[in-house]
Structure formats: C-alpha cells, structure tokens
C-alpha cells in the first residue's frame, strides 16, 4: 500500500510497514529539552528511576527561553541543567548558543528520515529537513531519555500543495504558512501531519522550509514535513518522498504565486488577513526573532529595508538572532551594523520576548508587530498588549513608518 512521508519514516523505525491510525513504539534518533521544559523532565527522569541516559549522544539540553537568567529562581534552574549535563554526559548548549531548534539544525543534530522528539511545541520545524519531529511535554521526554523510545499513533496526513513559480515581492514562507493556518484553523490539523508539496515549496531555502513546518504547531499538528524535492544540505542524504497515490485525509491546493503579505491579528494565529487591510494601524514595538523568523535571511530582509534609514520616533525595535551562528554571519556581512544604525536593539540569541520571560515585555495598551508565531493574549508577558504577526519585511517596514505597512510599499 502506498505511504505518506510520515508513514514511511515511522515504518523505517518500527521495522514493519505501518499506516495512519496504528499504534507503535519507535526508537528516537534525537531529543532535546529547554530551560522551560528540562527541569521538569529531569525531575521526572529521576523519579522514574533513571540513573543513565538511554543514549547520551542523542539528548541535548538548551538554555534559550530565559537566557541569561533574569532572576535567581531561573539561574538555579539553569544550574540544575548544567549539573545534569555534566553528570550524565549529554550536550549542553548554554546561554548565547541560540534557540533550541536553530541550534539543533545548525549543529546537524537532526537529519532527513530521523524521528526527533523535542520538549518544545515548535519541534516540527525539523520537518524542513524531511524528518518526523514532534513536540512533547517534559514527562514524555523523560521517558525518551530513559528508554530511547516513544509510543505514538501513526498520524493521518493533510497534503498542502503550494503551486506557482514565483512569490509576490515582499512575500515569504511566513505568508504561505499564515495562509495555511488560516485555512486549517488553530485546531484543523490536530493529531495529524501536514505534508508540503508543490513547485513553490521545492524552490524554498532550508530557512523558509523551516517557517512552513514551524507553524504547523499553530494548526495543532503532530508534525509538518516538506517534500525533499529541491532540498539542499551540506551532506549526502537519502530523501523520503511520499508515494503518488498515498492516502491523505485532506488535500489543500494554494496558488502561492498569488499570495499577498499576510498578518495574523490579535489574539489568535489563525485570524489571518492581508497586511493591506491593516495598513495605518499604529505600533510602538517591532520584534524580529524566534524559531519562526530569526534566521540570517530574515535579518538581511529587515536590513535591506532599513539600510540608511531610521525607525520611526516612538517605536522601539528588538532583534534576537536565532542562534550564535546566525549572529556571527549577520555580523560578518554588516547586517547587524545596518540594523543598529537604523535604531534596532540587538538582544542575545534566544527566545527573547516571544514567551514573555524577559528582554522586552510590552506595556499596557501597546501594539506589537512581531515576526514570531503566537499572538495569544498575554503571550509576550502582558495580557493588556496586542500582538500582530507578520513576516520580517512587514515588521521592518512597519517599524520604519510607526504603523503597520505592507512591504509591497517598498519593492526590494
């Protein structure tokens, strides 16, 4: 019987052909936890009787959600992670390394065909690499640390076909995925995999593919995977492609070439509209960063818009490069200098203001334009602020003008 990509990857690990709906126990190729999820995972691991990791080379700890520590309570949790890594021999990516997902990809800790479990909901990001990656909670992760395995139900798959050769100016992967979130809604892919195909997907860079998979979390999906067609990696790999007549629960066809810049308005990532309809909305805070849009190409896009100019009076702009590697690359090519000269504040590589832990909480009544993935009430640490989500070009041009504007107003 023909199979989807998820069915193939899980079958390869289960040692038999499996299909949507079947339960199986599979070995896990890699797993990670962050400073939000690791302390509980370490506690559960020890309570389970864990004395050693199933495979210390496959478990990674990343300090990214509140790094460097903003208070003594979190400082102690960071030290708990450092001690655990030292004692159990797993890798630890300390403050300044970057956001867990970018760190895993930068350091090749996840590869095509892998099954990866991350104690963070945006773990499906690695589907850009043609891998099966799921977000789990701390206790599930603890069980993976202990047994090296996870039980799962093979998901049904929604096929998303992105047609078209060339995207409109100012449009990126973010706008495509916002359109998919809009169509599927915040719960439309619950328990399912989202598989991306089509000409437009095939020509996207790894960074842009990561955006497509990152935000399947905002559809409730178990995982997101991009067809390996056109995928370029610095090492050889065996691509895993769906069979032509694989069984899908739903097929969504999108004319990617016709998509306009998109914006998700407060307070849900699936409340998606064209940016054009919100032009003129005053903003006081612009944020570029996160596992969704904090990569080199995102920063370069913002720099190209802001070069030689200055953000509007009364606006502050915060930029968090997704990883140390992104920061180094953006320093080398002058991107960081351009952004600083334009009035942006560069903060440490990490999750930053996205989760409301530190480094840029909005004030009461403030309107934020952000390149992140979630705009739930209170998401950035203040329930009395409003968050609009858009691509980095829209965020940059809005910072420049002091109100939401479309990147189409400045064709690059």
Partner 1 sequence: MPIAHTYGNNIDTDRIIPGKYTKTLDIASLAAHVMEDLDPDFHKKFQVGDMIVAGDNFGCGSSREQAPVALKAAGVSVVIARFFARIFFRNAINIGLPVLEIPDHDIETGDLLAVDLASGIVENKTKNKTYNATKMPKVMLAIMQEGGLVNYLQKHKDYILE
Residues 127-146 contacting partner 1, CB under 8 A: 135-140, 142-143, 146
Residue 196 tokens read as: 């991306």
Output 222 or 262, the one with its CB closest to partner 1: 222
13 binds partner 1 (CB under 8 A): no
Question: What phi and psi values does residue 367 have, to the nearest 5 degrees?
Answer: -110, 125
Complex with partner 1: residue 227 or 293, whichever CB lies closer: 293
Alpha-carbon distance 7 to 412, whole Å? 41
Tell me: does residue 48 bind partner 1 (CB under 8 A).
yes
Q: Which is nearer to partner 1, 23 or 412 (CB)?
A: 23
> Phi-psi region for residue 35, left (φ > 0), alpha (ψ -120 to 50) or beta?
alpha
23 touches partner 1 by CB under 8 A: yes
3-state DSSP assignment of residue 262:
strand
CB 355 within 8 A of CB 235: no
Residue from 82, 153, 273, 316 that binds partner 1 (CB under 8 A)? 153
Near partner 1 in 380-409, by CB under 8 A: 381, 383
Question: Token digits for 207?
Answer: 């960074």
Q: How far is the CB of 395 from partner 1 (least distance, A)?
A: 21
Nearest to 183 by CA among 276, 293, 256, 271: 271
Q: State phi, psi for 332 to the nearest 5 degrees.
A: -60, -40
Which of 5, 7, 28, 35 touches partner 1 by CB under 8 A?
35
The strand pairing partners of 262, in sequence order, are 274
Strands 386-389 and 367-370: parallel
Which one of residues 47, 52, 253, 277 is an interface residue with partner 1 (CB under 8 A)? 47
Residue among 2, 17, 25, 307 that touches partner 1 (CB under 8 A): 25
Q: In what order do the strands lie in the sheet with 59-62?
A: 91-93, 59-62, 30-34, 115-119, 132-135
Angle of helix 392-401 versus helix 296-306 axis, rounded to 10: 30
Could you tell me how far CA 342 lies from the centroid of its own chain?
Answer: 26
Binding map of partner 1 across residues 95-124, x = CB under 8 A, - = no contact: ------------------------xxx-x-
> Mask: binding to partner 1, 214-243, rule CB under 8 A, as x and -?
---x--x-x---------------------
Binding residues (CB under 8 A) for partner 1: these are 23-25, 35-37, 39-40, 43-44, 47-49, 65-66, 73-74, 77, 119-121, 123, 135-140, 142-143, 146-147, 149, 151, 153, 186-187, 190-191, 217, 220, 222, 268, 355-357, 361, 374, 376-379, 381, 383
């Amino acid at each position: 019987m023909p199979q989807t990509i998820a069915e193939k990857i899980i079958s390869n690990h289960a040692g038999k052909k499996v299909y949507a709906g079947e339960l199986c126990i599979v070995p896990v190729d890699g797993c990670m936890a962050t400073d939000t999820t690791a302390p509980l995972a370490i506690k559960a691991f020890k309570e389970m009787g864990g004395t050693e990791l199933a495979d210390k080379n496959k478990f990674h700890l990343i300090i990214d959600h509140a790094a460097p520590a903003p208070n003594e309570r979190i400082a102690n949790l960071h030290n708990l992670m450092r001690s655990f890594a030292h004692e159990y021999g797993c890798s630890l990516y300390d403050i300044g390394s970057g956001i867990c997902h970018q760190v895993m990809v930068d350091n090749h800790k996840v590869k095509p065909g892998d099954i990866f479990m991350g104690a963070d909901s945006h773990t499906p990001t690695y589907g850009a690499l043609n891998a099966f990656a799921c977000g789990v909670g701390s206790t599930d992760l603890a069980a993976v640390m202990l047994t090296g395995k996870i039980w799962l139900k093979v998901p049904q798959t929604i096929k998303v076909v992105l047609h078209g050769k060339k995207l409109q100016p100012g449009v990126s992967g973010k706008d495509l995925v916002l359109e998919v979130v809009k169509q599927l809604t915040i719960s439309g892919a619950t328990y399912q995999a989202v598989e991306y195909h089509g000409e437009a997907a095939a020509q996207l860079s790894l960074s842009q593919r990561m955006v497509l998979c990152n935000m399947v979390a905002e559809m409730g999906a178990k995982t997101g995977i991009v067809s390996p067609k056109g995928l370029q990696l610095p090492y050889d790999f065996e691509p895993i492609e769906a069979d032509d007549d694989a069984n899908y629960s739903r097929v969504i066809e999108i004319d990617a070439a016709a998509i306009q810049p998109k914006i998700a308005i407060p307070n849900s990532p699936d409340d998606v509209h064209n940016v054009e309809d919100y032009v003129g909305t005053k903003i006081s805070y612009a944020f570029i960063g996160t596992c969704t849009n904090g990569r080199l190409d995102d920063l370069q896009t913002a720099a190209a818009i802001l070069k030689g100019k200055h953000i509007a009076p009364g606006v502050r702009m915060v930029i968090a490069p997704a990883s140390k590697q992104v920061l180094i690359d953006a320093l080398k090519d002058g991107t960081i200098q351009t952004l600083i000269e334009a009035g942006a504040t560069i903060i440490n590589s990490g999750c930053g203001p996205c989760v409301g832990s530190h480094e840029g909480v909005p004030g009461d009544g403030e309107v934020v334009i952000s390149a992140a993935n979630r705009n739930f009430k209170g998401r950035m640490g203040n329930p009395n602020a409003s968050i609009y989500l858009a691509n980095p070009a829209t965020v940059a041009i809005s910072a420049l003008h002091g109100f939401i504007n479309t990147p189409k107003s400045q064709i690059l």
